[in-house]
Amino acid sequence: MVQSSGGEQLVEHAETKGLDPALLNGVMGMLKGGGGGGDAGDGGGGGLDMGSVFKMIGGLTNRDGGGGGGGADGFMQLLQGFAGGSGGEGTNTGNIVQILLGLAKSYFNVKGKSNPAIQDWDAAGAGQNKSDDNFLNWALSVIRDLVFPGKKPKEIIQAGGDDDIDTGADSGKTKDDGDVKGWFDGHPEIGKMQKDVFDDIFDTTDDDKTDEDDPAPVIPTPSDFQENCSCLDNASILFLNCNLLLEYRKNWRFLFSTLSHARSLDEMMSKICYKGPTLIIAKDTEGNMFGAHASTSWCDTEGGWVGNGQFNCFLLRAL
């Protein structure tokens, strides 16, 4: 796909594929900083330095680097390219948020054309429930432990910490590059999205591997879901799946929805009891979305309590 005739073809190809502008700016900055001949975004006679291009691809997709995702070095280079500099003085948290948003949006734009799980979720309702605000909520949930190391999410939220995280380009506190790499390694979903997006953009996907081969994919496969039965959007699915135990991330079964079944507590219990761990999602009349994860089956105890104490509540959207 990449040829030495200039950067215009690369830009057009990436835009057609659905690459978010933040990532496109990062890639162009990487190429310009890599010593390419002429402007990487210029369609004139200046060509791309192919050595820089292949180095960039290797970093973004972790080619020959082992592991199951894009490399931390590629992520750092993407951040530096987005900032238009060569790095060395740390990274603004605002730029990290912008790249996280770009990766998540690009993942669904790019992979949505070929990934059956994303396509099935679109049919189940995620396609019509799209929310850019929820992508920002996801990005904030991921960056909290970098900005506030050692603090629990509930503690950060109650103290209003999210309001102190700058989200604009070239804004926010500067974080040491070593800290950013360590944080990146602690969030494998970022590397997976990075690798999947740029493998698709640069056509470097391993021929013998498919999305179904991943035991803990970024997005689960929805089983037995009915058309438009879900109130979830893509960002909410991403957030929920990446916070579940690994063994629950591959397949989700549809059990009950007020859009498909009778609006009755008895009806809901008849569908979810004795079915294993569950996620319950509720959306109120004002659009707020919240829910809970039960790690054991719901059952009729006739007044008693059962379970293992691992029951977690969460807030997906507050208006």
User: Whole-angstrom Cα distance, residue 50 to residue 62?
Assistant: 17
Distance CA(267)–CA(258), nearest Å, equals 10
Instruction: Report how far residue 254's alpha carbon sits from residue 252's, in angstroms, rounded to the nearest whole number.
Output: 7
Distance CA 76, CA 263 (A): 49
CB 210 within 8 A of CB 106: no
Which residues, 6 or more positions from 171, have their beta carbon under 8 angstroms from its beta carbon?
92, 93, 94
Residue 63 to residue 49: CA distance in whole angstroms: 19
Per-residue pLDDT of the chain (319 residues; tens, 9 = 90+): 444 445 677 778 888 999 999 999 998 888 777 533 334 444 444 456 677 778 888 889 875 555 556 789 999 999 999 998 655 578 999 999 999 999 999 999 999 999 999 999 999 999 899 888 899 999 999 999 999 999 998 899 889 998 889 999 988 889 999 999 999 999 999 999 999 999 999 888 765 666 677 889 999 999 999 999 999 999 999 999 999 999 999 999 999 999 899 999 999 999 999 999 999 999 999 989 999 999 888 888 777 666 666 668 888 877 5
pLDDT of residue 48: 62
CB 251 within 8 A of CB 286: no
Q: Is the pTM of this model over 0.75?
A: yes
One DSSP character per residue, 203-264 reads T---TT--GGG-SS-SSPEEESPPTT-----HHHHHHHHTTS-GGGSSEEE----TTTS-S-
The residue type at 302: E
Cβ atoms of residues 28 and 62 within 8 Å: no
